[in-house]
């Protein structure tokens, strides 16, 4: 028996394979350009010329690595989706491949607006979702800091609870012992952050982290083949926003106040804002 969404999944596999192939083609072109500049750097008699070609080669090498990382992420998603279609495992998330590439089980992308309001989230697993919902509820945490401050954030052990007095104790109670977050930046600003929970030893400052972050920023989310929906894995919190609107009408308050009430109830009940939103939309009394 075909699983629900079988035909859609086959379409996603084909799309992911095409994106992976195009990324590999771009990587090959960038690598060829890097090799050309390396030859010119070694033969140019002008010191300024050698410096220019060496810098250009380094730029093309970074671009090639970025495209290869993007290709690997798309290919991993295609492989997992193909396995799911054949009845192996659960329906995959694109972010699961990101987490695997970084040597962890839990990773998340948070997208924000210019005022640092959380617009959307994509996660690798349920623990990552819980951690990101906690940031949404409390308004503090590693992704928020990384996006606002525009630099890498890393915290471990007792430092987590000292840095984030509300968020930290709950995060550690989930079993996480360390977290790092990297801003997703463009020349015009920062549009979010990549958070990695319990990162493997040596990930901080590694080429893997730099290449995956660059692939997400320059290609997966914003490039020529951009898919900010991440094959349907991005949650824009439509249910929460809809519930905030319904609640505002029901109790006669503004939508921001209704949203704050939903967040407060989620925190008090130790559940997600989505769960509270579904209760409201189902007509359950609030609170």
The tens digit of pLDDT for each residue in 72-92 reads 999 999 999 999 988 887 889
Q: In residues, how long is the chain?
A: 287
What is the distance of C-alpha 8 from the center of its chain? 23
Domain boundary among 92, 124, 142: 92
Same domain, 84 and 113: no
Strands 118-123 and 153-156: unpaired
The pLDDT of residue 155 is 96
Separation between Cα atoms, residue 135 and residue 181, nearest integer Å:
13
| Percentage above 70 pLDDT, the chain | 98
Paired with 155 in beta bridges are 179
53 belongs to a structural domain: yes
139 belongs to a structural domain: yes
Mutual angle of helices 255-269 and 238-251, in 10-degree steps = 110
Same domain, 115 and 188: yes
The pLDDT of residue 14 is 95
Domain boundary among 47, 63, 92: 92
Name which of 217, 159, 215 is nearest 183 in CA terms.
Answer: 217
The pLDDT of residue 189 is 87
206 belongs to a structural domain: yes
154 belongs to a structural domain: yes
SS3 231: coil
- The domain containing residue 131 runs over which residues? 102-220
Same domain, 73 and 135: no
The pLDDT of residue 4 is 65
The pLDDT of residue 188 is 79
Separation between Cα atoms, residue 154 and residue 58, nearest integer Å:
28
138 belongs to a structural domain: yes
The pLDDT of residue 192 is 95
Domain boundary among 73, 92, 111: 92
Ramachandran category for residue 271: left, alpha or beta (phi over 0 → left; psi -120 to 50 → alpha): beta
**Tally of domains within the chain:** 3
Residue that the structure tokens 């600003």 belong to: 189
Same domain, 85 and 109: no
Considering Cα of 200, then 201, then 203, then 208, what sign does the dihedral take? negative
Q: pLDDT tens digit string along 172-194?
A: 999 999 999 999 998 878 999 99
Low-confidence ranges of the chain (pLDDT < 70): 1-4, 285-287
The pLDDT of residue 2 is 64
The pLDDT of residue 130 is 94
The pLDDT of residue 77 is 96
């Amino acid at each position: 028996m075909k699983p629900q969404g079988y035909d859609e999944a086959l379409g996603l596999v084909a799309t992911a394979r095409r994106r992976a192939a195009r990324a590999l083609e771009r990587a090959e072109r960038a690598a060829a350009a890097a090799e050309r500049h390396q030859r010119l750097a070694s033969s140019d008699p002008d010191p300024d010329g050698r410096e220019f070609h060496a810098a250009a080669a380094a730029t093309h090498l970074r671009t090639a690595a970025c495209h290869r990382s993007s290709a690997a992420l798309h290919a991993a998603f295609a492989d997992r989706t193909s396995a799911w279609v054949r009845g192996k495992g659960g329906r995959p998330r694109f972010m699961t491949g990101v987490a695997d590439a970084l040597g962890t089980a839990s990773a998340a992308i948070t997208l924000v607006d210019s005022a640092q309001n959380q617009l959307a989230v994509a996660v690798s697993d349920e623990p990552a979702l819980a951690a990101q919902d906690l940031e949404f509820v409390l308004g503090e945490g590693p992704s928020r800091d990384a996006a606002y401050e525009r630099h890498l954030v890393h915290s471990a052990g007792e430092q987590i609870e000292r840095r984030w007095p509300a968020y930290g104790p709950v995060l550690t109670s989930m079993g996480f012992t360390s977290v790092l977050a990297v801003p997703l930046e463009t020349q015009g600003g920062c549009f979010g952050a990549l958070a990695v929970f319990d990162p493997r030893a040596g990930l901080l400052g590694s080429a893997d982290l730099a290449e995956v972050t660059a692939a997400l920023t320059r290609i997966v989310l914003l490039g020529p083949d951009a898919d900010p929906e991440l094959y349907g894995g991005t949650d824009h919190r439509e249910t929460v926003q809809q519930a905030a609107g319904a609640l505002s009408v029901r109790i006669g308050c503004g939508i921001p106040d209704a949203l704050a009430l939903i967040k407060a109830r989620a925190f008090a009940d130790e559940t997600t804002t989505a769960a509270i939103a579904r209760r409201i939309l189902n007509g359950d009394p609030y609170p």
